């Protein structure tokens, strides 16, 4: 069972979340999908595998009002968990994802690749493929 938890302002990261969900389901995995506002920090106890999604915001950082506080609250519980990270960006070079990946590995999680980044509107096939890969991770 995999939990997908994401924040999205204009819908691109949400599209990624749904395509990743599709890829997971197609590969036979059970999935729950929530926007970050719908969950509390005890969600991490309930699953072993996660896909966290957040676009590049501010200046190459995670969204500050909801996603960053959520991630801070769960970070210490990620030891040993299997984690995929994803998000949309625009003009940057993916620095936010490199930083987020390092942070996730430093928390002791097993990270799938270096995360998945997509420029603005995502390529749904690439997202589905990342979902299938997560199902078999």
Closer residue to ligand FMN in complex, CB, 58/80: 58
Residue 64: CB atoms within 10 Å: 10
CB-based contacts of 32, cutoff 8 Å, min separation 6: 1, 2, 3, 4, 47
Using CB under 6 A, count the residues that bind ligand FMN.
19
Contact status: 132 vs ligand FMN (CB under 6 A): no
Q: Tell me which residue of 110, 81, 106, 96 sits closest to 3, measured CA to CA.
A: 81
Torsion 124-14-63-81 (CA) sign: negative
Instruction: Considering the complex, state which of residue 88 and residue 104 has its C-beta at the smaller distance from ligand FMN.
Output: 88
Residue number with CB closer to ligand FMN (45 or 90): 90
Residue partners of 116: CB distance under 8 A and separation at least 6: 16, 20, 84, 85, 86, 87, 126, 127, 130
Binding to ligand FMN (CB under 6 A) within 70-129 occurs at 88-92, 120
Residue nearest to ligand FMN (CB): 92
Nearer to ligand FMN, 57 or 85 (CB): 57
Site for ligand FMN in 51-70 (CB under 6 A): 55-60
Minimum distance of ligand FMN from residue 90's CB (angstroms): 4
Q: Which residues bind ligand FMN (CB under 6 A)?
A: 8-14, 55-60, 88-92, 120
């Amino acid at each position: 069972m995999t939990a997908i938890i994401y924040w999205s302002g204009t819908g691109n990261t949400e599209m990624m979340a749904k395509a990743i969900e599709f890829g997971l389901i197609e590969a036979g995995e059970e999935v729950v999908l929530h926007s970050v506002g719908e969950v509390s920090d005890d969600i991490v106890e309930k699953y072993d595998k996660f896909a966290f999604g957040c676009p590049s915001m501010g200046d190459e950082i995670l969204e500050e009002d909801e996603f960053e506080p959520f991630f801070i609250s769960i970070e210490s519980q990620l030891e040993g968990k299997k984690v995929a990270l994803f998000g949309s960006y625009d003009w940057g070079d993916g620095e936010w994802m490199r930083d987020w990946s390092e942070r996730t590995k430093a928390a002791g999680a097993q990270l799938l690749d270096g995360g998945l980044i997509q420029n603005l509107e995502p390529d749904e096939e690439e997202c589905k493929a990342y979902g299938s890969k997560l199902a078999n991770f």
